[in-house]
Amino acid sequence: MSDQDEAWFDEAAGPLVRPYAVTGGRTRSDQFGLELITLVVALPSVAEAASLPPEYAKIVRLCQRPMSVAEVAALIDLPLPVIKVLLSDLIEQNYVIFRRAAPMSEAPNQHVLQAVLDGIRKL
């Protein structure tokens, strides 16, 4: 075998692990309804998560402060669906908790907003 045959990939390409391999072949996890703006935060310390697989441990390290699912995906550099699967696993195992944004139907009505504005103007 020549050297040319052995070097069939580019070193700058990074690891050759496909995203579905990271999630064990799972592609969807809508169990918790995680959205881009859903906030997640890790419960255990970084030391407690050291025994987790690398991707999970990295998420726990990053989520020591609340951050959105979109931020996690950007910082871990994995596709959003993969991050959602990994976060769902961590939520099920009580390593991470989450908080969804309030639906638009639960937003304050115009009367409440007007009362707040009037109160601020009186200050």
* pLDDT at residue 49, rounded to an integer: 82
* pLDDT at residue 14, rounded to an integer: 57
* pLDDT at residue 48, rounded to an integer: 81
In the chain, which residues have pLDDT < 70?
1-21, 25, 27, 29-30, 102, 104-107
* pLDDT at residue 31, rounded to an integer: 80
* pLDDT at residue 123, rounded to an integer: 81
* pLDDT at residue 104, rounded to an integer: 66
- Among 98, 96, 99, 97, residue whose Cα is nearest residue 48: 96
* pLDDT at residue 46, rounded to an integer: 74
Q: Which residue, chain included where needed, has tokens 């871990």?
A: 76
Longest dimension (CA), the chain: 83
Strand partners for 67: 40
Domain segments of the chain: what residues? 20-122
Task: Please tell me the class of the 20-122 domain.
Answer: mainly alpha
